[in-house]
Amino acid sequence: MNNTYVSPLTPLTEEQIEFFKENGYFLFKEGMSSDLIDAFNGHIYDIRNQNPMPEWAACDEAKKYSLRLFNPHKHDSFSRQLMKNAIVRGALAQLMGKEAVCVQSMYFYKEPGSPGQASHQDYYYIKNDPMTMIAAWTAMEDSIDIETGCLWVMPGTHKLGLLPHGAVKDIEEHEHWTEETEGVDTSRQIPVEMEKGDILFFSELLIHSSKKNRSKDRWRRSYVCHYIREDSNVLHREDLRQKFPLY
C-alpha cells in the first residue's frame, strides 16, 4: 500500500485569502463538477431508499427526503470522498496554515416550503480549541437563490467574537429548535446565490442564516462539512470528537 503524502493544492490566490480574512467568507466557483454532484445526489437518495434504511440514516418514512442526513462521512465512502475534495482540502490548508480535518457533515434536502435557520455563528454549536473551524458549503442544485432559501452572510462579523444567542423570533421563517444571534443588526446580511458545484467557505464566527424555501417545485440541496485545523480539538461535543483527515 502506498502511503506517500501528497501536498495539498493551492487553489486560492492571495487576493482571495485576503478577502476571506477581511470578510469571513469566500465563494469558490465551480469547485466540484456537475457529474460528481449528480452522482452524489442520486447516491444519497439511494441510501434512504434501502429497505430497511441503514440505522445511521434512518428516519420516519415520510421524512426520508426532507430530514437532513447527519454525518454521512462517518458511514459512507462516497460522502467521505466529497468531504476530501481536493479544492476543499487545498483551500482549507491555505486558510488555516496547516492541514484540516473534518468533524461534521450534513446533507440538506430543503424541499419547497421548508424553513431556514435563523442568524447564528457555528462556533456557538461547535466549540473548538484553538478556534480554527471553517465550513465548506457546496451547492448541489443548478441554482440556489433567494427564492429557494440561499445562505445570507454578514461580512466582517467574524471579527466580533462569539455573540449571545437566544430564542428564534420568527418561527414561520426559521426552524424553532435552533437559536439566534443577539446584540447585532442582522438586517445587514447579504444573500449568497450559488450554482451547482460552487463552494462557500466561511468562518465559524461569521453570522449567517437562511430563509424559507418559497419556491413551488425547486429544492435547495447542499452538502455542508465543518473542518478544524489538524492540531485543534472539538470541546464538549463527544459526537464530533473524531477527526477525519483529508489525505
State if pTM tops 0.75: yes
Q: Nine-digit cell at 119?
A: 442568524
What mean pLDDT is predicted for residues 221-227?
A: 98
**Phi then psi dihedrals of residue 61, to 5 deg:** -55, -35
Q: What is the pLDDT of residue 2?
A: 60
Taking alpha carbons only, the member of 58, 100, 65 closest to residue 83 is: 100
> β-strand 151-153 against 208-210: which pairing, if any?
antiparallel
pLDDT bracket for residue 62 (50, 70, 90): very high
Given a cut of 60, whether residue 39 has pLDDT beyond it is yes
**Phi then psi dihedrals of residue 81, to 5 deg:** -60, -45
Q: Mind listing the pLDDT tens digit for each residue in 133-181?
A: 999 999 999 999 999 999 999 999 999 999 999 999 999 999 999 999 9
Q: What is the pLDDT of residue 1?
A: 53
Q: Mind listing the pLDDT tens digit for each residue in 117-131?
A: 999 999 999 999 999
Q: Is the alpha carbon torsion for 228, 233, 237, 239 positive or negative? A: positive
Q: What DSSP designation does 162 have? A: P
Counting Cβ atoms within 10 Å, is residue 9 exposed (0-12), middle (13-18) or buried (19+)?
A: middle
Q: Which long-range contacts (CB under 8 A, 24 or more apart) does 185-191 make?
A: 186/119, 186/154, 188/154, 189/119, 189/152, 189/153, 189/154, 190/152, 190/153, 190/154, 190/155, 191/145, 191/146, 191/150, 191/151, 191/152
> CA-based Rg of the chain, rounded to a whole angstrom?
17
Q: Could you write out the DSSP letters of every residue in 19-36? A: HHHHHSEEEETT-S-HHH
pLDDT bracket for residue 3 (50, 70, 90): confident
Q: Nine-digit cell at 237?
A: 461535543
How much of the chain exceeds pLDDT 70, in percent? 99
What mean pLDDT is predicted for residues 190-205?
A: 98
Query: Alpha-carbon distance 144 to 221, whole Å?
Result: 8
Q: Mind listing the pLDDT tens digit for each residue in 66-97?
A: 999 999 999 999 999 999 999 999 999 999 99
Given a cut of 60, whether residue 203 has pLDDT beyond it is yes
How much of the chain exceeds pLDDT 90, in percent? 98
Q: What is the pLDDT of residue 95?
A: 98
Q: What is the pLDDT of residue 99?
A: 98
Q: Vertex 105, ends 99 and 111: CA angle to 5°?
A: 145
What mean pLDDT is predicted for residues 104-122?
A: 97
